[in-house]
């Protein structure tokens, strides 16, 4: 039987999925990070199958999402998008440390994310060598380019931004620290699965595929550890095929 527990890890509300028999065992761990305006409960189907495979799965609420919402409109949340991403990357490390103190996790740790969560996955891979495998589903690896595009879209809509142009430039410089597209060497041959729909109008397909072509040469020694799965018809919604392939990926590369 799969158990789902609501927990607070390092001050962060999260759902914890695990097989009943495995609750107190040291297990491989997977963090699942949701997308923008989503919440931890929306990805329990992933958690269920991964827990069935023997993983301990943690689904946190990102800042301003789920239990952490303060009720602000989506467009106002967009002003905080970059801060949410960076904040969540830091919180992954905090939650991992909290679980490690309880001796509940092995050193086999993975991160999955959808949309904004996929972006967080890419960013986390630049920061933490304790991540042994990753999967990004319709996320952007090109932090600076993506964020600039989002800000320009808000400007075209005539929305007054709470930042000056100089402040925005400072933000763009800050985000380079997490931009895997400008530091692909940080992947260091770690297994990485990327899925993206070609009809995605929220997170464009092109930059993600271009990134894959760029880093592919860096996986010459272990080409099987990098996989890009494109869907000709999919938009900004994860398909069942992507869901099952992700579970298969972690079963292959993250089992103890």
Measured over all CA atoms, what is the biggest interatomic distance in the chain, rounded to whole angstroms? 55
Contact (Cβ atoms closer than 8 angstroms) between residue 193 and residue 229: yes
Degrees to nearest 5, angle at CA 244 with 242 and 93: 80
- Residue 182: pLDDT above 70? yes
- Give the pTM: 0.94
Residues 118-172 pLDDT 10s: 999 999 999 999 999 999 999 999 988 888 777 777 677 766 666 777 877 787 7
Long-range Cβ pairs for the range 10-13 (8 Å, 24+): 10/91, 10/94, 10/95, 10/97, 10/98, 11/94, 12/60, 12/61, 12/91, 12/94, 12/95, 13/40, 13/60, 13/61, 13/66, 13/67, 13/68
Residue of 91 and 166 predicted with greater confidence: 91
> Which pLDDT belongs to residue 152?
73
> Which pLDDT belongs to residue 175?
86
Start-to-end CA distance of the chain, whole Å, equals 21
Residue of 11 and 159 predicted with greater confidence: 11
CA distance 123 to 12: 19
Mean pLDDT of the region 58-83: 91
Chain centroid to Cα 89, Å, comes to 9
Residue of 110 and 151 predicted with greater confidence: 110
Confidence of residue 256 (pLDDT cuts 50, 70, 90): low
Residue of 149 and 50 predicted with greater confidence: 50
Q: Which of 207, 59, 61 is nearest to 122 (CA)?
A: 207
Confidence of residue 226 (pLDDT cuts 50, 70, 90): very high
C-alpha distances out from residue 204 to 110, 131, 138, 163, 179, Å: 25, 26, 8, 25, 16
46: Cβ contacts below 8 Å, ≥ 6 apart: 32, 57, 112, 243, 246, 247
For the chain, state the CA radius of gyration: 18
Contact (Cβ atoms closer than 8 angstroms) between residue 112 and residue 46: yes
Mean pLDDT of the region 4-18: 97
Specify the range with the lowest mean pLDDT, choosing from 57-61, 152-156, 221-225.
Answer: 152-156
Share of the chain above pLDDT 90, in %: 81
List b or e across 49-62, with b for residues whose CB sees 16 or more CB atoms inside 10 angstroms. Answer: bbbebbbbbbbbbb
């Amino acid at each position: 039987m799969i158990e789902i527990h609501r927990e607070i890890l390092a001050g962060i509300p999260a759902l914890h999925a695990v097989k009943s028999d495995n609750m107190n065992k040291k297990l491989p761990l997977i963090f699942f990070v949701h997308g923008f305006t989503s919440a931890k409960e929306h990805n329990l189907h992933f958690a269920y199958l991964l827990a069935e495979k023997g993983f301990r799965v943690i689904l946190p609420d990102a800042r301003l999402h789920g239990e952490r919402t303060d009720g602000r409109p989506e467009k106002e949340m967009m002003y905080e998008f970059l801060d949410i991403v960076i904040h969540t990357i830091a919180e992954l490390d905090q939650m991992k440390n909290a679980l490690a103190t309880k001796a509940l996790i092995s050193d086999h740790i993975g991160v999955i994310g959808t949309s904004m969560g996929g972006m967080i996955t890419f960013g986390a891979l630049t920061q933490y060598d304790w991540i042994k495998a990753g999967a990004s589903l319709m996320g952007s690896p090109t932090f600076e380019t993506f964020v600039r595009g989002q800000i320009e879209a808000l400007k075209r809509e005539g929305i007054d931004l709470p930042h000056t142009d100089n402040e925005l430039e400072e933000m763009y410089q800050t985000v380079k620290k997490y931009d895997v597209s400008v530091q692909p060497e940080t992947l260091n041959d770690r297994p990485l699965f990327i899925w993206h729909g070609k009809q995605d109008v929220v997170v464009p397909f092109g930059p993600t595929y271009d990134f894959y072509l760029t880093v592919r040469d860096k996986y010459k020694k272990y080409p099987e550890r990098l996989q890009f799965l494109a869907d000709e018809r999919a938009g900004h919604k994860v398909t069942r095929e992507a869901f099952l392939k992700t579970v298969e990926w972690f079963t292959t590369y993250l089992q103890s």
